[in-house]
């Protein structure tokens, strides 16, 4: 089976590794790829949002299945274009991908179908939004750009003054471009975050293992929000009781809500949850695999990813087993110094051959050397019987790797271990 994966980050590298374990014999192509994926699949020089390019390439090369992973091509309708051309594609269509593409859509959906989430108001006018903030008495408050913003369109403002500045940046100064022309202003929830990625074909829903992301740049959850600096699975806050509540109040209702709106969701649905006093609330939906969550979820997945993808497309996921191994997994992101702000690229990375379980994110092959080519450079992963074991192993591997100005958090999984001990 010829499979084309769209995207070129750590998540896609993890997906390629899992696809290669399928009992189906595969030939894998990846657009636009990176230096690690290059070693395991054929790189295709097409951008991840180049819909015509992907359709034409798939047609010309008799691709049997296209796996569309990043948010932007999904929201732009790449799956619709492929299906219209008669090419099988995994991922939600444009009508369903709006669950991530518009935060206002997602909030209104949850309100309409009584799915637990933070209280909110939405605005397309700066002055009305500013009036709302001026009347608000409880801070922090959360301001979110409606559209996609590379995970950076969320501002948590600790005071009225900060909130008004953030709002102005978003709505009048175009800090997030078009995405910020409409905003959601949301109540701040206190609790522990859990990510749950689930396969769904619109008829059934099968979650992968829960995980805990670490979004801030520095130890102790300090510094700016990033795309994610590390992740562990399973998440100790996601107890059986919480899982039952999430299934009953969030996962199934979301699936039914999307069907009812004529937006059947088929693909990987990502639930970003906040657990407040044992009760799960939705912080965000993503219409795709999370990054870096995928890097810990797929190694723990007992199931054949090719079979799962095909069963979702053919709406027979019910028949296909999706189980999670009884083990733990950790992924520590090694980033370029300065990320998520300014950073340099092109630094040579050494030590990669000395360890396994390295997922490439922002890397490139230049003159025979593997060099940094992005903010998040590598995901160093490990699987072990215990969470502590997985964390130790990941950090051990990092000691072998080096490049100028490399930065990583030293406390990935620390909070999860503390919670585990307290239970
Ligand atoms: P999002 O892109 O919506 O996931 O938001 C990014 C991050 O901001 C989340 O992972 C949370 O850490 C935080 N966040 C978003 N919404 C809220 C909220 N209502 N209350 C508290 N934290 C939030
Ligand atoms: N790790 C968060 C995301 O993929 O959006």
Query: How far, in Å, are 194, 275, 397 from residue 241 at the CA level?
Result: 14, 11, 35
Q: What DSSP string runs through 27-61? A: EEEEEE--HHHHTTSEE----TT-HHHHHHHHHHT
Contact between residue 397 and residue 331 where contact means Cβ atoms under 8 Å apart: no
Q: Which residues of 129-164 are buried (b: 16+ CB within 10 A; e: fewer)?
A: bbebbeeeeeeebbbbbbbbbebbbbbbbeebebbb
Q: 248: which residues sit within 8 A by CB, 6+ positions away?
A: none
**Ligand 2, atom nearest to 215 Cα:** 1
Ligand 1 first shell, C-beta below 6 A = 118, 142, 144, 151, 154, 186, 188-189, 193, 215, 272, 283-284
Our mutation pick for probing the ligand 2 site, out of 291, 298, 335, counting the most ligand atoms within 8 A of Cβ, is 291
Distance (Å, rounded) from C-alpha 68 to C-alpha 84?
A: 15
CA distance 385 to 173: 50
Pocket of ligand 2 (CB under 6 A): 151, 213, 228, 286, 290-291, 293
CA angle 278, 280, 284 (to 5 degrees): 150
| Cα–Cα distance for residue pair 238/408, rounded to 1 Å | 26
Whether the CB-CB separation of 294 and 311 falls below 8 Å is answered with no
Q: What integer pLDDT is reported at residue 177 of this predicted model?
A: 79
Nearest to 18 by CA among 268, 331, 295, 210: 295
Secondary structure E strands in 62-102: 65-68, 89-90
Report residue 64: phi and psi, to 5°: -90, -25
Q: Is 310 helix (H, G, I), strand (E, B) or coil?
A: helix
Q: Give, using CA atoms, the residue closest to atom 4 of ligand 2.
A: 290
Which atom number of ligand 1 is nearest to the Cα of residue 151? 2
Residue nearest to atom 3 of ligand 2 (CA): 290
Identify which of 14, 214, 227 to mutate to test ligand 2's pocket (most ligand atoms within 8 A of the CB): 227
Q: Output Rg (C-alpha) for the chain, integer angstroms.
A: 21
Q: What is the pLDDT of residue 339?
A: 96
Q: Is the pTM of this model over 0.85?
A: yes
Q: Which atom belonging to ligand 2 lies closest to the Cα atom of 291?
A: 4
Among 10, 12, 148, 228, which residue has the most ligand 2 atoms within 8 Å of its CB, making it the best to mutate?
Answer: 228
How would you write the pLDDT of the chain (423 residues) with one tens digit per residue? Answer: 999 999 999 999 999 999 999 999 999 999 998 999 999 999 999 999 999 999 999 999 999 999 999 999 999 999 999 999 999 999 999 999 999 999 999 999 999 999 999 999 999 999 999 999 999 989 999 999 999 887 678 899 999 999 999 999 999 988 887 887 899 999 999 999 999 999 999 999 999 999 999 999 999 999 988 889 999 999 999 999 999 999 999 999 999 999 999 999 999 999 999 999 999 999 999 999 999 999 999 999 999 999 999 999 999 999 999 999 999 999 999 999 999 999 999 999 999 999 998 999 999 999 999 999 999 999 999 999 999 999 999 999 999 999 999 999 999 999 999 999 988
Q: How far is CA 218 from CA 153, 193, 228, 377, in A?
A: 19, 17, 11, 16
């Amino acid at each position: 089976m010829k499979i084309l994966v769209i995207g070129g980050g750590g998540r896609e590298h993890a997906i390629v590794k899992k696809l290669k374990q399928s009992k189906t014999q595969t030939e894998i192509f990846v657009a636009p790829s990176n230096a690690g994926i290059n070693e395991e699949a054929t790189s295709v020089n097409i951008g991840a949002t180049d819909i015509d390019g992907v359709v034409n390439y798939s047609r010309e090369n008799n691709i049997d299945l296209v796996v569309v992973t990043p948010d932007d091509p999904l929201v732009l309708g790449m799956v619709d274009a492929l299906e219209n051309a008669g090419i099988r594609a995994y991922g939600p269509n444009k009508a369903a991908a709006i669950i991530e593409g518009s935060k206002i859509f997602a909030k209104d959906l949850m309100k309409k179908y009584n799915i637990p989430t933070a209280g909110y108001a939405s605005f397309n006018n700066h002055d009305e939004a500013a009036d709302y903030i001026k009347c608000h008495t409880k801070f922090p408050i959360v301001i979110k750009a409606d559209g996609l913003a590379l995970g950076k369109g969320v501002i948590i403002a600790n005071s009225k003054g900060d909130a008004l500045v953030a709002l102005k940046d978003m709505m009048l100064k175009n800090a997030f471009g078009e995405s910020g022309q409409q905003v959601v202003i949301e109540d701040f929830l206190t609790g522990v975050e859990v990510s749950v990625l689930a396969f769904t074909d619109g008829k059934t829903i099968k979650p992968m293992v829960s995980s805990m992301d670490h979004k801030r740049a520095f130890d102790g959850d300090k510094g700016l929000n990033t795309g994610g600096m590390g992740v562990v699975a399973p998440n100790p806050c996601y107890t059986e009781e919480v899982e039952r509540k999430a299934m009953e109040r969030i996962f199934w209702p979301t699936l039914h809500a999307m069907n009812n709106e004529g937006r059947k969701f088929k693909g990987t649905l990502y639930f970003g949850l906040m657990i407040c006093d044992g009760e799960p609330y939705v912080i965000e939906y993503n219409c795709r695999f999370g990054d870096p969550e995928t890097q810990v979820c797929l190694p723990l997945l007992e199931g054949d990813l090719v079979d799962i993808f095909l069963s979702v497309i053919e709406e027979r996921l019910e028949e296909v087993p999706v189980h999670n191994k009884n083990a733990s997994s950790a992924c520590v992101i090694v980033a370029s110094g300065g990320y998520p702000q300014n950073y340099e690229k092109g630094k040579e990375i050494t030590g990669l051959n000395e360890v396994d379980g390295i997922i490439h994110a922002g890397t490139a092959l230049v003159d025979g050397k593997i060099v940094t080519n992005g903010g998040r450079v590598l995901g160093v992963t490990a699987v072990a019987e215990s969470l502590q074991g997985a964390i130790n192993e990941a950090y051990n591997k990092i000691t072998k790797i080096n490049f100028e100005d490399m930065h990583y958090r030293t406390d990935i999984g620390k909070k999860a271990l503390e919670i585990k001990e307290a239970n």
